[in-house]
Structure 1
Amino acid sequence: MLDFTLENISAEDVERLRAVYEPLAQSVRELIDATVRTQVEAADVAVAKAEIDAATARLRRKQLDGSFGVRYLASGERMAWGNAVIGIRNPIAPPVEIQHDSSGTSWCDFHLGAAYEGPPGHVHGGVAALILDHLLGEAASDGINPRLTGTISFRYLRATRLGDLHAEAATTRVDGVKTFAAGHLADDHGVTVEAEGVFIQPRWARGE
C-alpha cells in the first residue's frame, strides 16, 4: 500500500515511493509535450482525450487534501516533490536537479521543450524567472534553514533558446537575516538572463 504517513519513514520507503510516482510524472511531461506538438486527426485526439480523462478519474480515486507541501524526514531529507521547479511528482516541473559544488556555487543542467515556449522557439521569460528565483533561493539557503525571496530582479540579455540549458548562482554577501545572491541562465550560445536578489530567513525559521 502506498500512503503518505511519513512518520519514521525509511530511506527505502522514500525510494519505493519515488519509483512509483516519478515515472508517472515523467509520462505526463511527455503527454504535455505531445499535446502541444501533435498533428494527428480529430478522431485520434478524441480517443486520446477519453483515455486521459479515464486515467485522471482513476488517479482521483484517492488524493491528498490540498497540495503536496514540503515534507521533512527524520534524516533531514526534504521532499519537495510537488514544487513547480524541482518537484519530481509535478509534471510542469522540468524538473531541475540542483547541484552544489565546493566553491559554494549552486548549478543545474536541464532541458526545456515546447511546453515552456514564449517567443517562438524560445523560453518564456516568466519560466526563466521562475527557475532563477528558485536557484538563487537554493544558493542563499544553507540546506536546513530556508531563505525566501524578498526582492529579485532580472536582466534579460537576449531570448533563451529552448533545449538544453545551464543555470548557476551563488551567495554574494550576508547581512543578518538577509542573504544576497546572484546568478544567470545560459543556453548553448552563452548567458541569456542575469538575476540578483535578497533572500530572507522567515521568522518561523528563526524561532520567533
Structure 2
Amino acid sequence: MDFEYGVISADEHDRVKALHEPLAEALRRLIDASLHSGADAETIAQARQTIDEVSETLERTPTDRPRILRHEESGLPVVWRNPAVGRHNPLAPPMITHHEDGRCWTEFTLGPVYEGPPGLVHGGICALLLDQLLGEAATSQLSKPKFTGTITLRYLRGTPLGPLRGEAWLERTEGYKTYARGFLSDAEGPTVEAEGVFIMPAWARDAQ
C-alpha cells in the first residue's frame, strides 16, 4: 500500500499556510472558550447558532487539494492535518518540531484543553506527542515510510500544564526496524520517557 502524494509549490504552501493557520488559532481559542465560559443559556444558544452558520459557510466550498502533499522544494510531507503537529488542525497542541544533529526537539505550552488530572497534562496527550517526536526522529522528518510497531512510556511524575520541552533521537537501526528514544520535560526535568520501535512496511521494502 504505497501512497500517492500531490506536490505543493513553495509559494502555494506559504499562501495556504498564511490563510489557514490563523483560522486554526481562532478555533483553538473557541475550543478553550467553550470549555470555560460561564455565559447564560441565551448567550450560549446564540453562539451555537453563529458557529453553525460559520461551519455551513466553510462547508460550501470543499478543498480540491490532494489529501496527501509533499513540499516541492524540501520533498517532505506536509502534515497540516496531523493531530499532534498539524498547524491547520485546531485539536493539535501548539507544537512545532525542529531537527538538528539527528535530534528532534520542541518547546511549547499546553493549557487546560489538554488537562487530565487537575493541573496536569492527560497521559494520552503525552503519549501522542512522544509518538510523534520519536516517529520524526526515526523517519528523518517523516521522509521515510516507517510506522510505530511498539512504544513504551514511563511516566516518572505528572506532567504539569504550562511550558514544556520534548526531545527524541534515533538510537539504532536493525534491518527494517528503527529504534528511537525521547522524553517530555518541564523546568524541573523529565516527566515522561519513551522508547519506540518503528517498522518499514512490506510495500516500502519491495520498492527499495
Q: Give the alignment's TM-score, normalised by structure 2.
A: 0.90
Higher relative contact order (CA 8 A, sep 6+): 2
SS at match of 1:122: coil
**Structure 2: any 5+ residue segments left out of the alignment?**
none
Give the RMSD, CA atoms, in angstroms: 2.0
Q: Quick check: 1:105 aligned with 2:103?
A: yes
Letter in 2 for 1:54: E
Structure 2 counterpart of 1:178: 177
Superposed counterparts of 1:28-177, under 5 Å: 28-64=27-63, 69-75=67-73, 76-102=75-101, 104-143=102-141, 144-177=143-176
Q: Conserved in 2, the CA contact under 8 Å of 1:69 and 1:80? A: no
Report deviation, 1:69: 4.1
Q: Conserved in 1, the CA contact under 8 Å of 2:6 and 2:68? A: no
Letter in 2 for 1:200: I
Question: C-alpha separation between the residues in 1 aligned to 2:186 and 2:36?
Answer: 22
Question: C-alpha separation between the residues in 1 aligned to 2:145 and 2:130?
Answer: 16
Q: Point out 4+ residue stretches in structure 1 off by more than 3 angstroms.
A: 6-9
Structure 1 counterpart of 2:190: 191
Report deviation, 1:79: 1.1
**Structure 1: any 5+ residue segments left out of the alignment?**
1-5
Report deviation, 1:9: 3.9
Structure 2 counterpart of 1:17: 16
Question: C-alpha separation between the residues in 1 aligned to 2:47 and 2:188?
Answer: 38
SS at match of 1:134: helix
Give the aligned length. 201
Structure 2 counterpart of 1:3: none
SS at match of 1:96: coil
- More divergent stretch after superposition (162-171 vs 70-79): 70-79
